Chain A
């Protein structure tokens, strides 16, 4: 990486963090610290909600996902607009009119203190672990490709986010997220333009899309009712609705974003901003990945995108086998590029016979190349079983480092770190607030000064920041850690959503019934996790449905006991 890239990266990240600290230097009261500036408008709220959801791994992984499997992932966001409408119409007015600081405080008002502590405890457990991953995941990729020490990358990222989040609270998070989102969108747009300019073959934009489409990368909508397919319109609408309701409606890292600001109107408009713009934004990032695929049809891609791992093994005992595969890959690449150009010319000229034959040639060359990549992975894994068979996370960053001009590489690395900081800041802010409001202040019940409260909130935020850094530093000791965290999240998320759905929609159910129902439901989910061989996303549904049904059943039993059953 050149000096200018380094200056752009450090300059962008540090100046945004410093600006956040400077703008919030006169933080006086708890309300300001936890809820932010009273003048925060819907634009800032909308960008803040968007920046919280978009972590660094979104910008590293999604283009790679489109490169490998196409843009069908966009359908996962189809439930999001509907979920945000429900949250804007039902959740927001309640949270705001009750003047709660956290979503779990609402559970305390609606039910009782034990239910509040249960909701807050489940959130702290799940999000506390996830905050470490939000720092670890981009650090491992960036430090691998740039040769930076992993520990130093994690510690510097963690300290930067701790400084402005502890210092300025919610307002600092919102202010910095607005600028970080600006950097992210500018960087991705610049990468898109440079990709189009640098496209090696003489292709128009429409030709590029036809090439991507022919290799199955542009199937954005799948209306089939096939449950085995990972992404369809139906799984996106129903599964996405469920997940988005849970995430945006009950996760304090999101709730805190839209509870900041002037009024219900600003909160609602901030959410509607996301309901309208989220799908186009994700489509743009996925399309970028599909076009990187087209780019690499004419410019030779690495045989395995984690080139650090590839390089290490090429110098080892499997070097000869890998070099032979590399030679075959180069020959095949030239053959495939020629076949794609021949197909494009035939398509442009409307020669259907030639189009069919050249199409068969290019798809056959592609299949041979994919088999070659599979062989390479097998050799790499046999040499070192810790090497991942999936290298898609390295696709976009490899393109950035190899093809973007000096200065722009720094900008794109700033995009990755800005995304990591923005989502980590929201998580630490929410963890600190929940620990202070729902645990410390709630249980202590002692009148304290505002100064003491702000100081306590800051200390809890600092504590979670240090926990996140420690967890990220030891994350590589656990195999498949990211999947482990996703599983852990799914084990708890469903029960939390169940608690809130009962609170909002089943007004006859009281605290004891919902608390008991949720504890039993959590035990059921953990039982399924330990014994049943089912996809972990189903734990969300099982947890939510069990909480709702058990709460209803237990309330009915309690009503009978109290003799209040109406027949």
Chain B
């Protein structure tokens, strides 16, 4: 059995995301964009479908 956690080592410097401090901040950004999209879709629904 392979201990898969041992493979989750720190990111190699070459693998850091461009323009962000860490991958966590990239994921935070993507979640923020998702929340914004849902809010805009809710506003769209409220404007045209109510």
**B11 engages A81 (CB within 8 Å):** no
Q: Which residues of A contact B (CB under 8 A)?
A: 74, 78, 81-82, 84-85, 88-90, 93-94, 97-98, 109-111, 209-210, 212-213, 216-221, 223, 233, 263-265, 268-269, 272, 275-276, 279-280, 283, 503-504, 507, 510-511
A218 and B15 contact, CB distance less than 8 A = no
Per-residue A-contact encoding for B5-42, CB less than 8 Å = 1, 0 else = 10110011011111000010011001101100110011
Known contacts: A85-B31, A109-B2, A218-B44. The answer to whether A268 contacts B23 by CB under 8 A is yes
Apart from A94-B4, A218-B45: 15 A-B pairs, beta carbons within 8 A: A85-B27, A85-B31, A88-B23, A89-B23, A213-B47, A219-B45, A220-B45, A223-B42, A264-B15, A268-B26, A269-B18, A272-B26, A272-B30, A503-B4, A504-B4
- The smallest C-beta distance from B13 to any residue of chain A, in angstroms, reads 10
A110 and B1 contacting across the interface, CB-CB below 8 Å:
yes
| Shortest beta-carbon contacts, A-B, top 7 | A213-B48, A220-B41, A265-B15, A213-B49, A218-B49, A221-B42, A81-B34
Assembly CA distance A93 to B47 (angstroms): 43
Which of A81, A97, A268 is within 8 Å of B31, CB to CB?
Answer: A81
Residue of A nearest to B7 (CB): A97
CA of A269 to CA of B4, assembled, Å? 22
Q: Contact at A507–B5, with CB atoms within 8 Å?
A: yes
Q: A89-B23, A213-B49 are in contact. Are A507 and B4 (CB under 8 A)?
A: yes
Q: Does A78 contact B38, Cβ atoms closer than 8 Å?
A: yes
Residue contact B45 to A221, C-beta cutoff 8 Å: yes
A233 to B37, CA, bound (A): 12
> Residue of A at shortest CB range from B42?
A221
Which residues on the A side are within 8 Å of B18 (C-beta)? Answer: 265, 269
CB distance from A552 to the nearest CB of B (A): 15
- In this complex, how many residues of chain B approach chain A with their Cβ under 8 Å: the count is 31
Q: Which of A82, A90, A212, A507 contacts B48 (CB 8 A)?
A: A212
Given contacts A89-B23, A109-B2, A221-B38, contact A94 B7 (CB under 8 A): yes
Inter-chain contact B31/A507, CB cutoff 8 Å = no
Closest to A80 in B: B34
Query: Within 8 Å CB of A511, what residues of B?
Result: 1
Known: A263-B15, A268-B23. A275 touches B41 (CB 8 A): no
Docked Cα-Cα span, A315 to B30, in Å, equals 56
Given contacts A220-B44, A268-B17, contact A98 B7 (CB under 8 A): yes
A275 near B3 (CB under 8 angstroms)?
Answer: no
Query: What is B's interface to A at a CB cutoff of 8 Å?
Result: 1-5, 7-8, 11-12, 14-18, 23, 26-27, 30-31, 33-34, 37-38, 41-42, 44-45, 47-50
Q: Is the CB of A221 within 8 A of B41?
A: yes
Alpha-carbon distance between A93 and B11 when the two chains are bound, in angstroms: 9
Could you list 14 examples of A-B contacts with CB < 8 Å? A81-B30, A81-B33, A82-B34, A94-B8, A97-B7, A110-B2, A218-B44, A220-B49, A265-B14, A268-B26, A269-B17, A269-B18, A276-B30, A279-B34
CA distance A221 to B16 in the complex (A): 35
Q: Is the CB of B49 within 8 A of A265?
A: no
User: What separation, in Å, do the CA atoms of A111 and B1 have in the docked complex?
Assistant: 5
A511 to B1, CA, bound (A): 8
Contact in complex: B48, A510 (CB < 8 Å): no
Q: Which residue of B lies closest to A273 (CB)?
A: B30
Q: Return the contact of B38 from the options A97, A233, A272, A510 (Cβ within 8 A).
A: A233
Minimum Cβ distance to chain B for residue A198 (Å): 21
Complex CA gap A216/B49 in Å reads: 6
A59 CA to B31 CA in the complex, in Å?
27
B15: which A residues are within 8 A, CB to CB? 263-265
A381 CB, nearest partner CB in chain B, Å = 32
A280 contacts B42, CB within 8 Å?
A: no
In the assembly, what is the distance between CA of A110 and CA of B2, in Å?
5
A105 to chain B, nearest CB (A): 12
The docked-state distance in angstroms from the alpha carbon of A219 to that of B42 is 8
Residues of B close to A272: CB separation below 8 A: 26, 30
Closest to B34 in A: A81
Are B33 and A276 in touch, CB under 8 angstroms?
yes
Q: How far is the CA of A168 from the CA of B14 in the complex (A)?
A: 29
Q: Please indicate the chain A residues that have their CB under 8 angstroms from the CB of B14 in the complex.
A: 263, 265
CB-CB nearest in chain A for B48: A213
CB contact under 8 A between A275 and B17, given known A216-B49, A218-B44: no
Complex Cα–Cα for A216 and B5 (A): 49
Is A510 in contact with B1, judged by CB distance below 8 angstroms?
yes
Chain A residues contacting B30 (CB-CB under 8 Å) are 81, 84-85, 272, 275-276
Alpha-carbon gap, A84 to B29, bound state (A): 13
Taking CB atoms, residues of chain B closer than 8 Å to A210 are 48
Residues of A within 8 A of B2 (CB): 109-110
Q: Determine which residue in B5, B30, B42 has the highest number of CB atoms from chain A within 10 A of its CB, and name it.
A: B30
* Distance, CA A88 to CA B38, complexed state (A): 22
Residues in A with CB closer than 8 Å to B41 are: 74, 220-221, 283
Please, which residues of chain A bring their CB within 8 A of the CB of B49? 213, 216-220
Give bound CA distance, A220 to B45, whole Å. Answer: 6
Distance in angstroms between the alpha carbons of A250 and B7 in the assembled complex = 18
Residues of chain A within 8 A of B37, CB atoms compared = 279-280
Q: Which residue of B lies closest to A279 (CB)?
A: B37
B34 to chain A, nearest CB (A): 5
Partner of A89, one of B3, B27, B45: B27
